[in-house]
Amino acid sequence: MPISGYNYAAIRDRLAKHGVIVSSPTIIARAKDFGCYQPHPRKKTHDREVVTAAIGALIQHDAFHHRWSPYANEKWVLITSLDGFSRKILYADFFEQETTWAHIKAAETLMVNYGIPLRYYVDSLRVFRFVQRRDSFWRKNVFETDEADHY
């Protein structure tokens, strides 16, 4: 069976049981010297490409929380919408905080000025997700005995 990787921390622990105290970086350095080092495989880079056939086929909507200036005391939210084909920024505005209403107004402004897109991609923004059992403000979630976790 070919060896596809080494657990250097496990080697360090096994050596410690025999009274040999050595750090993991030292073990890795020795493994490299002897040609036995197995580097961790690199994760695949994000290589998905958004392919659209025309302007307005896909609008990508997102929000970014940053301290936009070194002179700013607090973070602001930048809400943007851009066309997936032309990469043109169709909407961008700063808000003190991210709210559902800010996103609704951004979508309204975009659609009034540019029309309704075929697709409107919103990533996993929390304001666009709703989990019935968890996020309902008006519904009191009371678990029945069959639904409770048993430990």
* 4 vs 27, higher pLDDT: 27
pLDDT in tens, 10-42: 889 999 999 999 998 998 899 889 887 777 777
Structural domain containing residue 13: 7-38
DSSP 8-state symbol, 97 = S
Strand partners, 63: 79
Establish if 144 belongs to a structural domain: no
The pTM of this model reads: 0.55
In a domain, 136, yes or no: no
> Angle 116-136-102 (CA atoms, 0-180°, nearest 5)?
40
The model's pLDDT over 90-106, given as tens digits with 9 standing for 90+, comes to: 999 999 998 889 999 99
The reply to whether 62 falls in a domain is: yes
Q: How far apart are the first and last CA of the chain?
A: 40
Question: Residues 72, 104: one domain?
Answer: yes
